């Protein structure tokens, strides 16, 4: 059975730990200059319907360092961009490559891609989920704090794709998460409901609030992202008004624990959701976080392409 990573919910707590452990092990090997060509001769196809710096370069570099190869497939390079169906694209690519990574708009489209693919499909961001980002984030938090369970992450800003994957990821590993979002910009109800179902199994707590100060009180990690995600440009003005008061600045960071770390998935809009003072300041771990995308991708690729049996089979219809 082919395993896919479309949402954090496709992974069990044990599988997340296995990915993080593999990522940490391969990070050490890279540091020591030891080869780790676990995917020799394997190819990753990477479909991008939106721009990317980190996801593209980290996956491509990860594949090279693992002894494999990655092919960048922009929408205008593929017949998909001229109307070939997602299903036919999946069927064809499956005959060439060993896994497909896709960054798409609609989450249903990646579900469709996975449905017709006989090789693993990895979500490199959709409008609803960004699981690879969360895995890199958990690796970063674990490195900085020495553990995950029992920590508090405060999300400040839009209840978007990055927030959704964190809600699922944190509750699967026993981290408490409080999201502070303006009214009307809270994460979708079904994602919150799933996070609330995960939480009792790991001892995590989930809170959705509207007050950033309330979210950051006692926080070990503060996390923010852009106020206008890719594909939302028509809502820019309305969003700029809604998110006033949700900036991560020194005053807000001062309300968290003294050793709080500040994360941002990047790209950042300095002066909007985060100030220069914070992103360049002593609490910021954003560059470690960006680097860890590559190490986490290696953990994901090796587990999905190398040791297929260790991942749960997809749940089919309705899977997020
Ligand atoms: N954080 C992230 O996914 O960055 P890119 O859009 O540059 O890939
Ligand atoms: N929420 C952002 C994340 C970019 C990595 C977006 O979807 O544009």
Nearest CA to ligand 1 atom 4: 54
Q: Identify the bridge partners of residue 46 per DSSP, sorted by sequence position.
A: 72, 101
Quick one: pLDDT band at residue 247, thresholds 50, 70, 90?
Answer: very high
pLDDT for 284 equals: 99
Q: What is the mean pLDDT of residues 274-283?
A: 98
pLDDT for 1 equals: 81
55 Cβ inside 6 Å of ligand 1: yes
Of 128, 131, 225, best ligand 2 pocket probe by most atoms within 8 Å of the beta carbon: 225
Token pair listed for 243? 């998110």
Distance of CA 95 from the midpoint of ligand 2 (Å):
31
Residue 43 counted as domain residue:
yes
Co-location of 137 and 285 in the same domain? yes
pLDDT for 158 equals: 98
Distance of CA 81 from the midpoint of ligand 2 (Å):
21
Co-location of 282 and 141 in the same domain? yes
Residue 38 counted as domain residue:
yes
Q: What is the mean pLDDT of residues 121-129?
A: 98
Residue 127 has pLDDT above 70, yes or no: yes
Q: What is the mean pLDDT of residues 145-163?
A: 98
Residue 215 has pLDDT above 60, yes or no: yes
Q: How far apart are CA 140 and CA 143, in angstroms?
A: 5
Co-location of 147 and 261 in the same domain? yes
Q: Which ligand is nearest to the CA of 290?
A: 1
* Ligand 2, atom nearest to 230 Cα: 8
pLDDT for 317 equals: 43
Catalytic position from the list 65, 133, 194, 247: 133
Q: Are 217 and 207 in contact (CB under 8 A)?
A: no
* Ligand 1, atom nearest to 125 Cα: 3
Residue 153 counted as domain residue:
yes
Co-location of 45 and 167 in the same domain? no
- Annotation marks residue 265 as catalytic: yes
pLDDT for 79 equals: 97
Co-location of 182 and 120 in the same domain? no
CATH of residue 92: 3.40.50.1370
Pick from 157, 110, 151: nearest CA to 130? 110
Residue 1 counted as domain residue:
no
Quick one: pLDDT band at residue 210, thresholds 50, 70, 90?
Answer: very high
- Annotation marks residue 103 as catalytic: yes
Residue 303 has pLDDT above 60, yes or no: yes
Catalytic position from the list 56, 107, 293, 295: 293
Residue 317 counted as domain residue:
no
pLDDT for 314 equals: 45
Co-location of 60 and 123 in the same domain? yes
Among the residue ranges 65-69, 168-172, 206-210, 313-317, the one predicted with the least confidence is 313-317
DSSP 210: S
Residue 313 has pLDDT above 50, yes or no: no
Distance of CA 101 from the midpoint of ligand 1 (Å):
13
- Give the pLDDT confidence of 267-278 residue by residue, as tens digits: 999 999 999 999
- Annotation marks residue 295 as catalytic: no
Co-location of 252 and 172 in the same domain? yes
Q: How many domains does the chain have?
A: 2
Residue 253 counted as domain residue:
yes
Q: What is the mean pLDDT of residues 16-45?
A: 97
Residue 8 has pLDDT above 90, yes or no: yes
Co-location of 120 and 157 in the same domain? no
Co-location of 108 and 143 in the same domain? no
- Give the pLDDT confidence of 50-99 residue by residue, as tens digits: 999 999 999 999 999 999 999 999 999 999 999 999 999 999 999 999 99
Co-location of 148 and 220 in the same domain? yes
Co-location of 98 and 173 in the same domain? no
Q: What is the mean pLDDT of residues 108-125?
A: 98
Residue 315 counted as domain residue:
no
Co-location of 61 and 149 in the same domain? no
Q: Which ligand is nearest to the CA of 231?
A: 2
Provide the b/e sequence for 95-115 (b: ≥16 CB within 10 Å): eebbbbbbbbeebebbbbbbb
Distance of CA 20 from the midpoint of ligand 1 (Å):
19
Q: Which helix (H) or strand (E) holds 102?
A: strand 99-103
Give residue 212's domain range: 133-290
- Annotation marks residue 293 as catalytic: yes
Quick one: pLDDT band at residue 319, thresholds 50, 70, 90?
Answer: very low
What percent of the chain stands above pLDDT 70? 96
Question: Has this prediction a pTM greater than 0.75?
Answer: yes
pLDDT for 88 equals: 98
Distance of CA 267 from the midpoint of ligand 1 (Å):
6
CB under 8 Å to 307, separation ≥6 — which residues? none
More confident call, 130 vs 315: 130
Residue 2 counted as domain residue:
no
Q: What is the mean pLDDT of residues 139-159?
A: 98
Q: How far apart are CA 289 and CA 136, in angstroms?
A: 7
């Amino acid at each position: 059975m082919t395993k896919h990573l479309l949402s954090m919910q496709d992974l069990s707590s044990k599988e997340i730990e296995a990915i993080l452990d593999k990522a940490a092990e391969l990070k050490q090997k890279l540091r020591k200059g030891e080869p780790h060509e676990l995917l020799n001769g394997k190819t990753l196809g990477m479909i991008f319907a939106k721009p990317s710096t980190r996801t593209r370069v980290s996956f491509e570099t990860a594949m090279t360092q693992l002894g494999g190869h990655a092919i960048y497939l922009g929408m205008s390079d593929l017949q998909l961009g001229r109307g070939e169906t997602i299903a036919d694209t999946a069927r064809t690519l499956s005959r060439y490559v060993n896994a497909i990574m896709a960054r798409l708009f609609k989450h249903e489209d990646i579900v469709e891609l996975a449905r017709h693919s006989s090789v693993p499909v990895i979500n490199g961001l959709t409008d609803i989920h960004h699981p690879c980002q969360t895995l890199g984030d958990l690796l970063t938090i674990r490195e900085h704090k020495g553990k995950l369970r029992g920590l508090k992450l405060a999300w400040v800003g839009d209840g978007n794709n990055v927030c959704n994957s964190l809600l699922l990821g944190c509750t699967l590993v026993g981290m408490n998460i409080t999201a502070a979002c303006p009214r009307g910009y809270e994460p979708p109800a079904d994602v919150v409901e799933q996070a609330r179902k995960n939480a009792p199994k790991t001892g995590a707590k989930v809170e959705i609030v509207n007050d950033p100060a309330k979210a950051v009180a006692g926080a070990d990690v503060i996390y923010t992202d852009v106020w206008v995600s890719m594909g939302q440009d028509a809502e820019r003005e309305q969003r700029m008004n809604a998110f006033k008061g949700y900036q991560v600045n020194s005053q807000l960071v001062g309300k968290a624990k003294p050793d709080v770390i500040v994360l941002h998935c990047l790209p950042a809009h300095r002066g909007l959701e985060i100030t220069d003072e914070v992103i360049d300041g002593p609490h910021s771990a954003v560059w470690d976080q960006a680097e860890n995308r590559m190490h986490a991708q290696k953990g994901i690729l090796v587990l999905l392409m190398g040791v297929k049996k260790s991942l749960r089979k997809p749940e089919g219809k309705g899977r997020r």
